[in-house]
Copies of this chain bind each other. A is one copy, B any other.
């Protein structure tokens, strides 16, 4: 096959992205290295030139994904101009704000993922994001909008429930069922954080059915 030379970072990114997509589409275990390289049009050796094993690229994907999520969350959390509630909305709201191509946390987490990626990314997401969210909750306590004793543990529980219940299609819920669950989630979160009922309405915006 014709040899096409690319800048290493470019080639590496190309492989990561393709693998990421295929892993999510067909699952990590069922997606062979063969599939990945055929999709890109490179040789087996090229794959192994950049990644020393299949688990190795999985790690790279998780790191990349988490990096993006955490970075965005930190940007929001550290913005001194925002109230705790505004930060919550920015991170958990389901409506797009600002520029188009920025993926939101909520959206990122709702990709149809498979088990391995699920476990690795979702769990890591909960673990890495909850301290950031907990800090926002602390800010909110200071601002008098939240009232809760153990912000970190509370956030972790709520996050986990939200993550796994509405993520992917693990549960096979219909759109209507998902909506109902999101509404309830909102109420539980408000109660758990001691927030005003309705203050997390941004999680369930009224909008036209997609």
List residues 121-150 of chain A with CB under 8 A from any CB of chain B.
123, 126-127, 149-150
Chain A at the B interface: SS class: helix
Residue A154 interfacial (CB < 8 Å): yes
User: Which chain B residues lie closer than 8 Å to A126 at the CB level?
Assistant: 171
The answer, yes or no, to whether A185 is at the interface (CB within 8 Å) is: yes
What is the total number of residues of chain A having a CB less than 8 Å from a CB of chain B? 31
Contact B153 A180 (CB under 8 A): yes
Judged by a CB distance under 8 angstroms, whether A119 is at the interface is: yes
Flag if B119 contacts A183 (CB, 8 Å): no
Residues of chain B within 8 A (CB-CB) of A165 are: 156-157, 160-161
Q: Which of A10-18, A104-112, A187-195, A199-207 binds B?
A: A187-195
Any B CB within 8 A of the CB of A181: yes
CB distance from A163 to the nearest CB of B (A): 8
Which B residues are in CB contact (< 8 Å) with A184? 149-150, 153-154, 156-157
Known contacts A119-B170, A170-B119, A171-B126: A192-B188 contact under CB 8 Å: yes
A33 within 8 A of B: no
Contacting residues of chain A (161-190) with chain B, CB-CB under 8 angstroms: 161-165, 170-171, 180-181, 183-185, 187-188
* Complexed CA–CA distance, A142 and B180 (Å): 23
Q: Are A160 and B161 in contact (CB under 8 A)?
A: yes
Q: Is A21 at the interface (CB under 8 A from chain B)?
A: no
Indicate if the CB atoms of A157 and B153 lie closer than 8 Å: no
CA distance A153 to B119 in the complex (A): 24
Say whether A123 contacts B191, CB under 8 Å.
no
Complex: A76 Cα to B185 Cα, angstroms: 27
Q: What's the Cα separation between A183 and B154 when bound, in Å?
A: 10
Name 9 A/B residue pairs within 8 A (Cβ), A-sorted: A29-B29, A115-B116, A149-B187, A153-B181, A156-B181, A157-B161, A157-B165, A160-B161, A192-B192
